[in-house]
Structure 1
Amino acid sequence: MSKSEWENNEEIKIFREYLRMPTMHPNVDYTACVEFLKRQAASLELPVDVLYPANESNPVVVMKWLGKQPELPSIILNSHTDVVPVFPDKWTHEPFSADMDDEGRIFARGSQDMKCVGTQYLGAVRALKASGFQPKRTIYLTYVPDEEVGGVLGMRELVKGDYFKKLNVGFSFDEGIASENETYSVYYAERTLWHLKFKITGTAGHGSLLLPKTAGEKLHYIVNKMMEFRASQVKRLAEDSTIDIGDVTTVNLTKLSGGVQSNVVPPLLEVVFDIRVAITVDVVAFEKQIRDWCEEAGGGIELDFEMQNPFVEPTKMDSSNLYWVAFKNALDELGLKTRFRVFPGATDSRYIRHEGIPALGFSPINNTPLLLHDHDEYLRSDTYLHGIGVYKKLIAAVANV
């Protein structure tokens, strides 16, 4: 297709309209986004609810496609409506203009992460309805806020409420990540996310002295231990070609604070680490190891988990999970080359899986530079339209299990 043909394609028009809504943190205004989604639901003749599980500033939009056997567990097609901040001076296109170049590349924040998926679901449902298809199971399209800052005011609250329980969800679709080669990645699990602050107290005094058990000495010990562990994971990743970043535990020092004056030994120093614990690691034993390091450092160290997600069981990928069987068979019938991976970051799927509901993360994007959260984020028009066809096949297969 040419640029003009892509520009006049109705599905591309819908996608670009969605991208032009700057639902960017911080202080997101979702008003226009909700109205857009309500219009889309009306065009598909789907009933729609707008919920506020956390507060009035964070709406959840739910569209319902009634199945022939609504008593069966339902399917949800989940996506998030928020996007991360931009640095406009680093972009060659205005970040919320959805500009298209002559190659059909659409530049906008959210083009990969993950407004593409939200409107591809709509395109797939539109195509299925036009073909006369009605799913066996009821399908819910859920559009949630706050995912990019932890989902605390979005999916986490949604799954706690009676509304969600009444949906009787059996399986969830959610986002994946673009692939830079011909394969497509399917994510069946996520690492356990911790944001861990060490509050390190020690002897205070004059900077000219060699005081015992200072906060600085303890900080040095803790940082060394954490960085030695980090180096072991870097080594493991380098030496084993069968694993990738989602299969190891990542440790990164993200914040360091303390002290009041250059000649005063401070009584308190604080250091924060972002930790993503691999699914093969015993989280209880790992936390104990960290607490043991604190004692070895001299004690007087408090652990403050700014975020401590619980371990969540991976989605089963075997014959016991009929949704997985249908999903995998559909991928095979499409002839797609797939890789099954642990998601390196954190998505709303962790809240779904925590409720005992199987979930798979999948974005039908391949042969595309990985640009989520990056400058000049884009998605090709042909990739976007192909993805609608992929979802059409997957949704029909899973909804008819």
Structure 2
Amino acid sequence: MSPYSPRPTRSAGLAGAAAGAAALALLLAGCSASPSDAPAPGQASSSDASADDATEDTGAGHGKIEGAAEAPEPPLHLVSIDAGGSVSLLDLLDGTETELDDVRAPQEVSTDGRYAFVADEHGVDVIDSGAWTWDHVDHFHYYRAAPAAPGSIAGEGVATIATGMLSTAGSTGVFFPESGEAVLLDNGALSKGEISETLRLEVTPHDGLIAPIGEGALVTDANRDGDIERLRAVDAEGTETDSIACVDASGTITTRLAVVVGCADGAVLATPSDGATELTKVAYPADAAPPATEFSARKGRPTVAGLGDGSGVWLLDTREQSWRWIAMPERPLAASAVDDETEHLVALAPDGSVRVFDASGAETAATEPLITDADHDGQVSLTVDAQRAYLNDPASGVVSEIDYADGARVARTLESGVAADFIAETGR
């Protein structure tokens, strides 16, 4: 294993800037808080409610669970999974490594910043890294607990996972395309090592999604041919409460301001409002590039990167409800919006190099190629946090840690006892 040096702690400036926008994180998990940001579209002001009142309403206790210890900084970890399902958990602060129980051979791996969801054609295994951050309006809480394996969710077809802001409250959405089952998992139960489904809907099989919001969810609705035509907002019992046209819906992400779902003609922003869900379409500008079909960003940030078939990246600002196109010579393999004070955009170019762009779309830094074979059986993942980006090279089994704000410097090359065919960064 390579030697490790502790990461620097998050600066007070970054922590303060992020905390000021945290209110809707609680709201999207099914509670209300007092934000310093303006309310989201259609959201009534909650200035008469304190942050502590909001947390008490959820019963979540600032994100702490029995047996967890509070940490002074984000307890960042890297979950590595090889093509056969062997799992390793690497502490990015002190370099210690823990081998975990094997999981199914992955076809896709997703994360919410605490759990890794490992999917194949017949279900999803859940890995609990035991490391998470609770976003609490004007400050953060950080926790460590023993890693665990809560269990599995059955369904047919490689599932699409949609996560919320908080790992100990709200829900996680799991959609199985072949069986047409849309499932909500209770995050509170998941944090205690239990798989508890609060909702399972049977719909027309299609490549769809279920995205949690409040006590309910957004669910794609397809015709008999499996073509998606709209999004349905449903309550905790699965009863439809509203809907909106969303042809070819694909890709979802949750920010502090809204749940985002991509459509052929724009994106739907969903926000809780007086016990209901308000749905707003943000249309693409005229003569737009091809639509975004996947979204990525530093967790919770209001501006997200969208990738589709075009040679470039869409930036969707959920606060301003606007799109911006960043043209590039070729379509990136991956891209993620950091949206900090300098609004970095981090992208993986087809040659395997990581490139950094500023708010104007100008390239400010780049690495040498770090991917040796993008067609390997693993899943190339580019993930970002407040200070670093992580990129795995499935062909070599190593992970590059990149300081994107410092000239895209490769700060460390991380190796573990398990080849990093698939990775997930947790503790965020």
Higher relative contact order (CA 8 A, sep 6+): 1
> Is this a same-fold pair by TM over 0.5?
no
> Radius of gyration: which is bigger?
1
Q: Greater helix percent: which structure?
A: 1
TM-score category of the 2 structures, normalised to the smaller one: under 0.3
